[in-house]
Amino acid sequence: MYGGSSPDDDFWLVRDVWERGEDPERMFLSIQNKDYAIASFLHAVGPRRTALLPGWCGNFLLTSTEVRQTLPRVELALSFTPEERRAVQERDWLDYLPDEESVLDGPLRQWRQAAEAGLGLCGVALTIY
């Protein structure tokens, strides 16, 4: 275990990762009060876009080379016309705080930042009960 977090804290695994980051702006974090948040996101963007995303249901670990190689597919999957965005948002059952970045925006921002900085990228979807 890293840091001062305790297994009694439901978020200790995640907190130990995000507290280690040098720049929290480089992270995208979405906390949902839904049992099937990833399924909701994948349903919202649809099967064609989902097939373009690397990893498995929100989980991936990519080298900097893999980030650069997958960026064009991720851009295709997560770039929307205004009409497409409205349709996706109608199917998106996730809840957002007023100042929270959407899952339609955050992952693509992260991918672009990682590619530009020559970094790898890790995505983790987890459920805490």
Q: For position 111, what pLDDT does the model report?
A: 92
CB 29 within 8 Å of CB 18 = yes
Q: What is the pTM of this model?
A: 0.73
Q: For position 70, what pLDDT does the model report?
A: 97
Question: How many domains does one find in the chain?
Answer: 1
Q: For position 40, what pLDDT does the model report?
A: 77
Q: For position 31, what pLDDT does the model report?
A: 58
Q: Does residue 1 sit within a domain?
A: no
Mind listing the pLDDT tens digit for each residue in 8-28?
A: 666 555 565 555 555 656 666
Q: For position 67, what pLDDT does the model report?
A: 96
Question: Please, which residues have CB within 8 angstroms of residue 46's CB and are 6 or more apart in sequence?
Answer: 88
The CA distance from 28 to 123, in Å, is 9
Burial class (CB in 10 A: 0-12, 13-18, 19+), 128: exposed
Q: For position 97, what pLDDT does the model report?
A: 64
Q: For position 95, what pLDDT does the model report?
A: 64
Q: Does residue 53 sit within a domain?
A: yes
Question: Can you give the residue range of the structural domain that contains 112?
Answer: 12-123
Q: Does residue 4 sit within a domain?
A: no
Below-50 pLDDT ranges, the chain: 1-3
| Residue 123 parent element (H or E) | strand 121-123
Q: For position 30, what pLDDT does the model report?
A: 56
Q: For position 3, what pLDDT does the model report?
A: 47
Q: Does residue 25 sit within a domain?
A: yes
| Cβ atoms within 10 Å of 67's Cβ, excluding its own | 24
